[in-house]
Amino acid sequence: MIRIIEASDRRRVAALLDRAPRRDAAIERRVARIVDRVRRGGDRALLAYARTLDRLDGDIEVTRGEMEAQAATVRREIREAIRMAARHIRHVARLQVPRAWSTSPVNGVTIEQRVLPLDRVGCYVPGGRYPLPSSLLMTAIPARVAGVPEVVAVCPRPDATVMVAALEAGVSRLLRVGGAHAIAALAFGTRTIARVDKIVGPGNAYVASAKALVSSTCAIDFFAGPSEILIVSETGRPDWIAADLLAQAEHDPNARAILMTPNRRLARDTEAAVRRQMPAEGPARQAIAANGAVIVTKTLDEAIALSERMAPEHLVCDSAAAATRLRRAGTVFVGRYSAQAAGDYITGSNHVLPTSGAARARGGLSAADFVRVSTVQRVTAEGIRRVGPAAIALANAEGLRAHAASLRVRLT
């Protein structure tokens, strides 16, 4: 069911690799109406949408007592797995926070880098086919590690595992609301939900569209489209590769799952392994049929070049030597035991990652996304004497006479 394609078939390869974020005009129009109504109507509009779209039939906020009661119903092994994941995420996040520093490029001039946490962050937790406690951990924990004092999590239907994750991550509030209306409430604020500085976390097409719409008003992490996995391999195990392709494909019927290899036998054996492991129905089957492929390249160099062109969300390769050449990816998994699913849950690296080629410019969510990095400048009388004449020369070169005058007055 997965296609084998020659890399020389440029049209079919381009259709798989060159994916700009998909836009749906009907969804964008509906999202724009929802966002505008919540912006103007506040809680009244928010609660109306929550009852209609999220099937809310009680309080919008989950109390700590309710979280603790529900968390107690979760099996011990799941609670322990959530604690382990949280511990690993914190470990990695602590290393990601930018450091403050101070330097003096010349006597009398001091530049300081200041690192301050955002004041309030909104974390979106999907509530669709399956509960996603891992997404709450991946968004809320780095924010807390960065020092954000108020972390608000929204989820349309949080189950008991999400409540365990909320307690473990230390969220300030957990709210039963989702979709575009939740994004609008976080971005603009209502009486129930205070306006946040930044919204992070994955969601469906409505959530992605709403995040894009409010991004001029409220910072977001990045556009999150359908999930992607690209495997570049010469010597991998076909059954393991097939399992990884199907694992990522089950996220979304529009997910992309691709193997690139110069090894024709590996291509054929992986195609057969995918057929054997393919579920009878569900999103993985749909994704493999629509966007799954084995691309046979002439060389490993060609496979690496095509990977760089795609800039995938998840990239898997055989060796450290290949990994050093693969620079454009949300995250890279090296070696046959580095299962992409381990990164989704437990390694500590963040699973909120750029898609649709956005990895050309950035990697995944990190603690650095939750701080303001700014500078403080101090110039003394000696400093202005040292740098002022050069600054005046540059101001005059640009024709900005008032700039030059503001410097000259300090030198006379």
Q: What's the CA gap between 172 and 176, in Å, rounded?
A: 14
258 with 285, same domain?
Answer: yes
Q: Which amino acid is at 80?
A: E
122: pLDDT strictly greater than 90: yes
Rounded to two decimals, the pTM is: 0.94
Answer whether 79's CB lies under 8 Å from 64's CB.
no
Q: Judge whether 314 counts as a catalytic residue.
A: yes
182: pLDDT strictly greater than 90: yes
Specify the pairing of strand 256-261 against strand 292-296.
parallel
152 with 297, same domain?
Answer: no
Which of 228, 314, 398, 403 is flagged as catalytic? 314
Whether residue 305 is contained in a domain is answered as: yes
The secondary structure of 242-305, three-state, reads: HHHHHHHHCCCCCCEEEEEECCHHHHHHHHHHHHHHCCCCCHHHHHHHHHEEEEECCCHHHHHH
Which of 168, 228, 271, 313 is flagged as catalytic? 313
Reported as a pLDDT band with limits 50, 70 and 90, residue 111 is: very high
Mean pLDDT of 95-112: 98
Residue 58's domain comprises: 25-106+118-220
Q: What is the mean pLDDT of the chain?
A: 96
Q: Which residues in 118-227 belong to E strands, given as ranges?
A: 120-124, 150-154, 173-175, 198-200, 219-220
- The encoded tokens of residue 224 equal 């999150």
Whether residue 353 is contained in a domain is answered as: no
182 with 166, same domain?
Answer: yes
Answer whether 50's CB lies under 8 Å from 158's CB.
no
63 with 209, same domain?
Answer: yes
Q: Which amino acid is at 244?
A: D
pLDDT tens-digit readout, 278-321: 999 999 999 999 999 999 999 999 999 999 999 999 999 999 99
pLDDT of residue 131: 79
Mean pLDDT of 262-277: 97
33 with 159, same domain?
Answer: yes
Q: What's the CA gap between 307 and 270, in Å, rounded?
A: 19
**Domain end residue (candidates: 331, 348, 365):** 348
- 61 — phi, psi (to 5°)? -100, 135
Reported as a pLDDT band with limits 50, 70 and 90, residue 113 is: very high
Q: Which residues of 19-53 are buried (b: 16+ CB within 10 A; e: fewer)?
A: beeeeeeebbeebeebbebbbeebeebbbebbeeb
87 with 9, same domain?
Answer: no
Question: Which residues does residue 257 pair with via DSSP β-bridges, in sequence order?
Answer: 229, 292
124 with 16, same domain?
Answer: no
233 with 320, same domain?
Answer: yes
47 with 173, same domain?
Answer: yes
Whether residue 111 is contained in a domain is answered as: no
215 with 271, same domain?
Answer: no
51 with 95, same domain?
Answer: yes
For residue 124, the SS3 value is strand
17: pLDDT strictly greater than 80: yes
**Domain end residue (candidates: 304, 330, 348):** 348
Whether residue 274 is contained in a domain is answered as: yes
**Domain end residue (candidates: 220, 237, 271):** 220
Whether residue 368 is contained in a domain is answered as: no
pLDDT of residue 225: 84
210 with 257, same domain?
Answer: no
Whether residue 373 is contained in a domain is answered as: no
Total domains present in the chain: 3
Q: What's the CA gap between 354 and 365, in Å, rounded?
A: 8
Whether residue 358 is contained in a domain is answered as: no
Percent of the chain with pLDDT over 90: 94
Answer whether 395's CB lies under 8 Å from 267's CB.
no
Whether residue 197 is contained in a domain is answered as: yes
CATH number of the domain bearing residue 157: 3.40.50.1980
pLDDT tens-digit readout, 123-136: 999 987 777 999 99
